[in-house]
Structure 1
Amino acid sequence: MIKRLLAGAVGAGVLGGLGFLYYAWYPPIATIEPPKASSFSAEQIERGRIVAAEGYCAECHTRTDNGGGPELAGDYKMETPFGAIYSSNITPDPEMGIGAWSEEALRRSLRYGVSRQGVHLIPAFPYDHFTKMTDQDISDLYAFLMTRPAVHMARRPNELPFPLSLRIFQAGWKLMFFTPGVYKPDPSHDALWNRGAYLAEGNAHCGACHTPRNLMGAEKKGSMYDGAVVDAWIAPPLNDKNPTPTTWTEDELYQYLRFGVAPLHGPAGGPMSPIPHRFLSQVPEYDVHALAHYFADVDHAAERQGHDKAALAHAMEESKKDLIGPNTLDADARLYQGACGACHYNAAPMPVLGRPELALNNALWLDEPTNLYQVMLHGLTAEEGQSGIAMPSFYNALSDTDMARIAAYLRRTRTTLPPWTDLEKKAADIRKTVKTIPVNSSH
């Protein structure tokens, strides 16, 4: 009996292994001669440019360290809990890039996370979102990519330890966490909402940064848009868990995504900054409106904004106390006034655009002071945040103790939340993530 059970278990294991190998195996797709630019219409290339902009292709496929690199030539370094990963060259170079790829090969990589050669792609390439793209968008993207300048540049090898470096493990990851399939419109919503959902959940892959991940690096589907840590910044929640006292309304979202600054919530900084300035400012307004419309529904803005008037009035009152009232006797308040107050003071009834009201900003209401510290240390250039308005870096001007005092002061006077803890240590830890002292650093 025991022998039969063991034999059955071995047989089941063998069959399971063979079944997994069958599931994991993909044949190579034949190479082609790089298509001529004249084989694509100007209209299709333009549509593909929009698809590439809405998918932020250049953001992750252009090297930024070591002096930077040519656009779309890859070698962008992505730090993951498992090791560094370097992005692929997606220019039409036939050897180093995708010039020898057919449209079918590109479609397979986006829909199933498998390269032309039949190799499983690492999900740092968010094919779990791109799988939702339509055939038309993929065809247009192919036309755009194949008409970019070819760059003969190799990327650095990934730094994943064995056995994670074996790509067959990616097939196992897919078996657990990946469901391929084109986006299906929700008939209970209008066309604008469905366009926004298609972009957010598909090509724009918003959840890749704003959804927390499990220990295997997969997005937690039950925590969609709950916020996550990305590149030592916090990508805040995009749903009704966003803690700011005034609601991210559809108009606030549109202004932020289109122009890089929301009247009440302030400017886009850190890894988010290129999204409005470099990409979404270059696409049809309808699509940006669609994203704003979708996320306003995700965060239940219509039901939540009833308290906004009172929250805004309270924020204006607290800002005034820094100049008139008990806050002027607080040593931490004086430090804040000397370093920050001149640019962040507001008076009723509304914050001045370009003078962010910190009492309404995500950075003060998150569970950690991460984003507040990052902005203090990096500052914002005139190309980031609100166009033409800069904030200097205080990397040299403020010590970790100074930053901790300002953070504690703002948390206790601008929010109704418990104080942050270990502020000096966290300031020192965030300072270590700054790889290059910003050129606009205060002295």
Structure 2
Amino acid sequence: MIGRIVAAVAGIGVAGGLGVLAYAWHPAIAPIAPPASTAFSTASVEHGRVLAAGGYCAECHTRRDGHEGAPLAGDYLMATPFGAIYSSNITPDPETGIGRWSQAAFVRAMRQGVSRDGSNLFPAFPFDHFTHMTDGDIADVYAFLMTRPPVHSVKRANTVPFPLNVRLLQGGWKLLFLHPGAYRPDPAHDAQWNRGAYLAEGLSHCGACHTPRNAMGAEKAGAAYDGAPVDNWIAPPLNGTNPTPAVWTEDEFFQYLRYGVAPLHGSAAGPMSPVIHGGLSELPESDVRAIAAYLASLDQATGRQGGDAARLAAAMRTSTRDLTGPQTDPDARLYAGACAACHANTGATPVPGRPELALNNALWLSEPTNLYQVVLRGINAGEGQAGIAMPSFYHALTDADLARLAAYLRRTRTTLPPWTDLERKAAAVRATLPAPPVAASH
């Protein structure tokens, strides 16, 4: 009897394993002769260009680690918990790119995460989002890519260790976490909301950075848009768990996504800058507004903004609280000398170009990572608000200075518990950044 049970269990296990293998295996799609650029209509190529910008194709398929690569030629480093993954060449080079990919092969990669040769792609490529795009949009992105200049470029080898580097095993990941198929409009919402959902959940894959990941590298299903670490920054929550005093309303989201600065929340920096200025800036204004409307609904902004006026007034009262009269707090003096010239606001609302720190995500997150990143690296004139820059304090402030500044701002600008281990964390963030050149003295 026991022997039969063991045999049955073993049989089920073998059958299940074979089923997973059958699901994970895909045939190669025959290569094609690279199509002429005239094979695609001008309208399709142009629409594909806009979509490729809104999907940040160039951002993840162009090397940028001090050895600037050709656009879309791949070799961009994606540091994952499982090892380094380098992006593919998606120019139409017939040998190292996708020049011999048919449209069917490209659609399969976008919808199912399968390469032309039948191998499974790692989910560092967000096919779990691109699968929700329409056939027409995927075809137009293909048309755009196939009309780019071909670049012969071989990417570096991934460092994902065995057995995680076995592509066939990705079939099990997809079985658990891939939900293929084009986005279906939700009849409970209007056309603008559905357009925003289509873009945010599909093409622009917002959740890929703003949703935490589980041990298998998939987005946590019950924590959509709860915020997550990415590229040595923290992508803040985009839903109702965002802790900043002023609610991220549709207009705040729109101003931020369209122009790189939200009046009550501050400027874009770090990984968000190219998303805005190199990606979303190419989308029609109506599309950016639709994304803003969708995100504001996740943020439950309409029901939460009733107390914004009082919260804004309270935040503005703190802006200059320690800057008048005899200064006895050494941390306040440090802030006054390094930051107050730009960040002290005396009016009822922040002055454009002078973000009010008491309203900024950086001070309200669970860790000081983003605050340290901005202070150490600065913000150049093309990153956030056009023409407005913040200098780097990499050389001007020690890790001990940064710790004092962070503790002071958290204590005086928020109602949250203090951060801990601040000096060590400052050193850790500094270690992720290249040292900027020291300004010449005169």
Is the CA contact (8 Å cut-off) linking 1:354 and 1:389 kept in structure 2?
yes
Superimposed CA distance per residue, residues 236-260 of structure 1 (whole angstroms, 9 cap, x where no aligned partner): 0000100100011111100100010
1:131 match:
131
Runs (5+) with no aligned partner, structure 2: none
Superimposed CA distance per residue, residues 121-161 of structure 1 (whole angstroms, 9 cap, x where no aligned partner): 00000111011000010010011000111000000010001
Q: CA deviation at 1:2?
A: 2.8
> Which one-letter code corresponds to 2:377 in the other structure?
H
Is the CA contact (8 Å cut-off) linking 1:108 and 1:115 kept in structure 2?
yes
1:218 match:
218
Is the CA contact (8 Å cut-off) linking 2:121 and 2:170 kept in structure 1?
yes
2:360 match:
361
Superimposed CA distance per residue, residues 299-347 of structure 1 (whole angstroms, 9 cap, x where no aligned partner): 0111111111111111221112132257x32110110111111011111
Describe how 1:60-79 pairs up with structure 2 within 5 A: 60-79=60-79
2:160 match:
160
* Structure 2 Cα separation of the partners of residues 442 and 359 of structure 1: 34
Runs (5+) with no aligned partner, structure 1: none
Two-structure CA RMSD over aligned residues (Å): 1.3
Partner secondary structure for residue 199 of structure 1: helix
Q: 1:168 to 1:158 in 2, by over 3 A?
A: same
1:389 match:
388
2:397 match:
398
* Structure 2 Cα separation of the partners of residues 284 and 69 of structure 1: 28
Q: 1:354 to 1:439 in 2, by over 3 A?
A: farther
2:40 match:
40
Q: Are positions 1:190 and 2:190 aligned together?
A: yes
* Structure 1 Cα separation of the partners of residues 241 and 16 of structure 2: 42
* Structure 2 Cα separation of the partners of residues 376 and 159 of structure 1: 32
1:408 match:
407
Q: CA deviation at 1:10?
A: 2.9
1:102 match:
102
1:293 match:
293
> Which one-letter code corresponds to 2:259 in the other structure?
F
> Which one-letter code corresponds to 1:409 in the other structure?
Y
Instruction: Please identify, of 143-152 and 172-181, the stretch whose mean Cα deviation from structure 2 is larger.
Output: 172-181
Superimposed CA distance per residue, residues 185-228 of structure 1 (whole angstroms, 9 cap, x where no aligned partner): 00000000000000101110000000000011010010000000
TM-score, reference length from structure 1 = 0.97
Q: Are positions 1:28 and 2:28 aligned together?
A: yes
Superimposed CA distance per residue, residues 359-388 of structure 1 (whole angstroms, 9 cap, x where no aligned partner): 100000001101000001110011111111
Q: 1:99 to 1:363 in 2, by over 3 A?
A: same
Q: Are positions 1:372 and 2:367 aligned together?
A: no
Q: CA deviation at 1:280?
A: 1.1
Question: Structure 1 vs Structure 2: percent identity of aligned residues?
Answer: 66
> Which one-letter code corresponds to 2:306 in the other structure?
G
2:430 match:
431
* Structure 1 Cα separation of the partners of residues 283 and 177 of structure 2: 31
Superimposed CA distance per residue, residues 153-188 of structure 1 (whole angstroms, 9 cap, x where no aligned partner): 000010001001110111111112112111110000
Q: 1:134 to 1:183 in 2, by over 3 A?
A: same
Q: CA deviation at 1:14?
A: 2.5
TM-score, reference length from structure 2 = 0.98
Partner secondary structure for residue 271 of structure 2: helix
Partner secondary structure for residue 111 of structure 1: helix
Runs of 4+ more than 6 Å apart: 440-443
Partner secondary structure for residue 79 of structure 2: strand
Superimposed CA distance per residue, residues 15-37 of structure 1 (whole angstroms, 9 cap, x where no aligned partner): 22222221111110011111111
* Structure 2 Cα separation of the partners of residues 375 and 243 of structure 1: 19
* Structure 2 Cα separation of the partners of residues 183 and 141 of structure 1: 17
Q: CA deviation at 1:441?
A: 6.9
> Which one-letter code corresponds to 1:275 in the other structure?
V
* Structure 2 Cα separation of the partners of residues 301 and 143 of structure 1: 39
Partner secondary structure for residue 234 of structure 2: strand
* Structure 2 Cα separation of the partners of residues 292 and 177 of structure 1: 26
Is the CA contact (8 Å cut-off) linking 1:395 and 1:442 kept in structure 2?
no
Describe how 1:80-95 pairs up with structure 2 within 5 A: 80-95=80-95
Superimposed CA distance per residue, residues 68-122 of structure 1 (whole angstroms, 9 cap, x where no aligned partner): 1000000000101110000000000011000100110010001000011000000
Is the CA contact (8 Å cut-off) linking 1:315 and 1:414 kept in structure 2?
yes
* Structure 1 Cα separation of the partners of residues 364 and 66 of structure 2: 35
